[in-house]
Amino acid sequence: MKFTIIAKEDDHSQNIAGKIRTYLEDFELAWNEEEPDIVISVGGDGTFLNAFQKYTHRLDQTAFVGVHTGHLGFYADWRPFEVEKLVIAIAKKPLQVVEYPLLRLFIYYNDEREPETYLALNEATVKTVEGTFVMDVEIKGELFERFRGDGLCVSTPSGSTAYNKALGGAIIHPSLPSIQIAEMASINNRVFRTIGSPLVLPSHHTLTLKPVTQFDFQVSIDYISTLQKNVKAIEFRVAEEKVRFARFKPFPFWSRVRQSFIAD
């Protein structure tokens, strides 16, 4: 099996990463940054997102596993004191994977250049560079509403516990193939109205945003922020690709939710 490690820059994470590499090479696993069978993230959820974005071109061939060296993360199953158990599991146990849905977005431009396309593990957000964000929101090609506010967040089920939750969105189990739209400070008064609640779309529905008053936007995909100019439309859908998590022990999602947001 070929592996690589992506670690946070702090000394603790780097030391853990070095220990994992040494142990795995002692088991005669091959270090390979170009074509890894498994990518080990050492850090937090941000480190995991970085690892995911680096290998979006080979999601059907690469699985991910995380070691968290800070606060409990949703993507990092293992803790530093469990490193030896993880190494033995990788080296000796058959690789079992769990697949979860992703978000695919397409950005189209008024000058008819080729659209840009991105994959998100957590979410994509769209905001204006300045002024009020005004977008026509279409679902399955039909106008749903004209949104006014600060912006919109479109998340995966895996990302529903992140920014989406902070915006009042629902937590969705990551096995459900869907996307969720959450509003950022919508304008609602006698003249302007929005639905005012999150929307969950199934895998066969598409969401399209079409600019009304401005055409330059700040679009963020996971941790990557881009300035998009002269935008004609932005389309979101459940991606055909899926992220593959290497599972060597149970992953109790609702227990993780409780530990993160409720338990002392």
For the chain, strand residue ranges (E) read 2-7, 30-31, 38-43, 63-68, 97-109, 116-120, 123-128, 133-139, 142-149, 151-155, 178-184, 199-202, 207-211, 217-221, 224-228, 231-246
Compute the chain's Rg from CA coordinates. Answer: 20
H or E, element range at 15: helix 11-26
216 close to 127: Cβ distance less than 8 angstroms: no
Determine the Cα–Cα distance for residues 22 and 170; give it in Å rounded to an integer: 42
Neighbours of 252 (CB within 10 A): 10
HSE, CB side, 13 Å, CA atoms: give it for residue 204.
Answer: 0
Q: What does DSSP say about strands 38-43 and 2-7: parallel, antiparallel, or unpaired?
A: parallel
Q: Which residues are catalytic?
A: 45
User: Between the CA of residue 254 and those of 109, 153, 177, 250, 262, what are the distances in Å?
Assistant: 41, 23, 17, 12, 11
244 forms beta bridges with: 99
103 close to 155: Cβ distance less than 8 angstroms: yes
HSE, CB side, 13 Å, CA atoms: give it for residue 197.
Answer: 2
